[in-house]
Amino acid sequence: MESQRVRLNLSFLNPFLLRSSKHRINSEPNAVKTGTKKSSMTTQESTTSYESDIESLFNQLDRNGNGYLSRTEFQTAIQSVNLPNSDDFIADLITEYTHNHRQKSNSSVSITKQQFISSAIKKERTIHKIFNKIDSNSNGFLTSDEIISYLSNIGISATDQDANRMISMLNKSSQTLNYQQFRAFAVLLPHAQLKYNLVWAWFEASFDANSDRKRSTPKVEHLKQFLAGGLSGAFARTLVAPVDRVVNQIMSGSSMASSSVRHAIWKIYKSEGFLGLFRGNTVTVFKKFPQKAIEFAVYDKLTRILINTKRNSQEMDDSLEMETPKVSNLERFLIGSSSGAASQSILHAFDVAKMHQSMGKQGSIIAVMIELARTQGIRGMYRGYVPSLIDTVAGTGIGFMTYEAGMQMYRNMCKRRPNGIEVTGIAAVSSAFTLTCCMPLAAVVKRMVAQGQPGVAKYRNVFDCVATVARTEGVGGFYRGILGVYLKIVPSIAFTFLLYDQITRKWAVGGTRRYSK
């Protein structure tokens, strides 16, 4: 099912919203804010009253009155508050309600009243906390000024018209909003979106699907995006650091390197100890963190720009039916290549220093870079930049394209989003295919960067390197150490995509917009 943003009539929720406004407006929210202690009787009565409110909401959503929420009824509730009606959004909610992580998104889903109430209770404290932050005067009502102030604090520019539209979306009979009305919207959000993006999601949902208003994002969103990409890359590469060092030696053609990964690891362990296996890993992490942060951030940003551009074109052409724009494989390749080019251009000098350090150059990464700059200048620090750029552009382009194609193929075949293990498998297959395509170029890059080191030949240029390897070693020379490359890169990339997927979902990176990708 395509992601849709459909504005439906809220009238079927109004009986609950109007009933809720008549009692307990100031009870729990202000009690939480002021830290007032309640007696056990008061707490019990409050809990009973709260469950009664949630049960009333369930009954309003259960339009056929059979005691279960069907998928259709669930979709109607989501559409009524203009939340994304995508398979992923519904799947996240279904997982929270049913605790079934393998639930097919298009299957017949029935959510019981108890499941709905239990899930809503778990969200209550978070909803209270956010409501109290918005309700600056603690009177139990949200006004347009309070909403504008809160949005401004999180980095979103909003007008009086925006705030009034947000209130009217949930309460058409007043210019203020009470806690129960606020909660009726909040319980329909997945927990991660509720925790990190509740008001942002409300702000986004208040706009019509065809609104051309440019909306800002919370200021913390860019930091979350950067950290998610950086942490996933850094942790994944640390796991394979020992194999990484050995493979670099083998692929560079060093005469000091052993012919097999196993023997090389044992040799390093015997001569340098356990920590010797991680020599140069600080540089790897130092480079991989910003590299993956830049790649994922640029990829997501360019993808959203492309989707928005296509959506705007649809809106301008009345002959086209509105639907979520598709991103083709070629477009994903070009976007992925652009993200790789951006990161490589910024960080290539770290690659050169890392290679020299792994080949025996003494000193910290900073010391190695200073030495390179002093003895070889900027040209030395960017030695092998052109082939490295080509290798990175090809690798990231093919990598992102095949990963996204694999994810889409899985969705089409299994009718659901892949779980963590399945994401890892898709990423592993994607990375193996990418490596097979790019291995010859990667071998040339490493030889160009490592030339001048003991036991490594010197080449006049890239073409001389290719010709020399082909003449002296044959095709096998370009695939030297291929097993080791698979051992270090395939799990590294697989874990990177897995961690990025899990972190961005856990932190709700992208807000509800992520469900329309």
Are 249 and 264 a contacting pair, CB within 8 Å? yes
> Angle at the Cα of 408 (from 402 to 413), degrees rounded to 5?
120
35: left (phi over 0), alpha (psi -120 to 50) or beta: left
Whole-angstrom Cα Rg for the chain = 28
Q: Domain check: are 267 and 152 in the same one? A: no
Would you state the structure tokens that stand for residue 362, as one six-digit string?
């003494």
Q: Domain check: are 204 and 225 in the same one? A: no
Q: Domain check: are 264 and 174 in the same one? A: no
Neighbouring C-alpha atoms within 13 Å toward the C-beta of 54? 23
Domain-located, residue 348:
yes
| Nearest CA among 183, 293, 274 for reference residue 229 | 293
Report pLDDT for 337.
Answer: 96
Q: Among 193, 218, 243, where does a domain finish?
A: 218
Q: Domain check: are 142 and 247 in the same one? A: no
Domain-located, residue 145:
yes
Domain-located, residue 4:
no
Report pLDDT for 107.
Answer: 52
Q: Domain check: are 206 and 236 in the same one? A: no
| Nearest CA among 96, 54, 94, 88 for reference residue 71 | 94
- In tens digits, the chain (517 residues) has pLDDT values of 334 443 434 444 444 444 444 433 343 444 444 343 333 333 444 556 777 888 888 888 888 888 888 888 888 888 888 888 887 888 888 888 876 544 444 456 678 888 888 888 889 889 999 999 999 999 999 999 999 999 999 999 999 999 999 999 999 888 999 998 999 899 999 999 999 999 999 999 998 765 666 677 898 998 999 999 999 999 888 888 877 777 666 655 554 555 566 777 777 778 888 777 777 777 678 778 999 999 999 999 999 889 878 877 765 554 444 466 789 999 999 999 999 999 988 888 877 777 776 666 677 777 777 777 778 777 777 777 887 788 889 999 999 999 999 999 998 888 778 888 999 999 999 999 998 888 887 778 777 766 666 666 777 777 888 888 888 888 877 887 777 678 778 988 999 999 999 999 999 999 988 886 5
Q: Domain check: are 392 and 302 in the same one? A: yes
Q: Among 170, 198, 218, where does a domain finish?
A: 218
Report pLDDT for 109.
Answer: 66
Helix (H) or strand (E) holding 237: helix 220-239
> E strands, 139-185, where?
141-142, 177-178
169 burial type by CB count under 10 A (0-12 exposed, 13-18 middle, 19+ buried): buried
What's the CATH code of the domain at 410?
1.50.40.10
Number of separate domains in the chain? 2
Measured distance CA(399)–CA(429) in Å, rounded: 10
CA 462 to chain centre: 37
What's the CATH code of the domain at 164?
1.10.238.10
Would you state the structure tokens that stand for residue 19, as one six-digit string?
């009933």
Would you state the structure tokens that stand for residue 204, as one six-digit string?
């986004």
Print the domain residue range for 384: 221-317+326-516
